[in-house]
Amino acid sequence: MLKSFDVNSADCFRFNLTALFNNYANIMDWEKVRVFTPTLFIKGGNSSYIKIENSEKILEQFPNATAFTINGSGHWVHAEKPDFVIRAIKRFLNKN
């Protein structure tokens, strides 16, 4: 949530906090569907959004998942290293 915090904004957060609070149960309790289609997760090496300890849960929902880390980039890996992202996607698509 701190990544969405904007100290210069009157509302402080860039999203509707009231709506999130009021609908939290619906958001967190959606049906977990297993996706068997090959799926690519691209992670920035400096990002903590996809952690190794999440691997088991990811594979439960995406049994054919592949993770690819692009070193030297953060969460916005597509903006920071677009050529590497495109290369990773092309490689993945060519294999699948």
Residue 5: strand pairing partners: 13
What the block records as the tokens of 47 is 């990002």
What distance lies between CA 53 and its chain's CA centroid?
14
Helix H or strand E segment including 65: strand 65-70
What does the pLDDT average to over 9-34?
75
Tell me: pLDDT of 11 over 70. no
The pTM assigned to this predicted structure is: 0.69
pLDDT at 64: 96
Q: What percent of the chain has pLDDT over 70?
A: 84
* Residue with the larger pLDDT of the pair 5 and 35: 35
Q: Can you give the residue ranges of every domain in the chain?
A: 1-30, 31-96
What the block records as the tokens of 95 is 């294999």
Q: What is the pLDDT of residues 44-74, one digit of tens each?
A: 999 988 888 888 989 999 999 999 999 999 9
What does the pLDDT average to over 86-96?
96
pLDDT-derived band at 1, boundaries 50, 70, 90: very low
Q: Is 44 exposed, middle or buried (0-12, 13-18, 19+ CB in 10 A)?
A: buried
pLDDT-derived band at 85, boundaries 50, 70, 90: very high
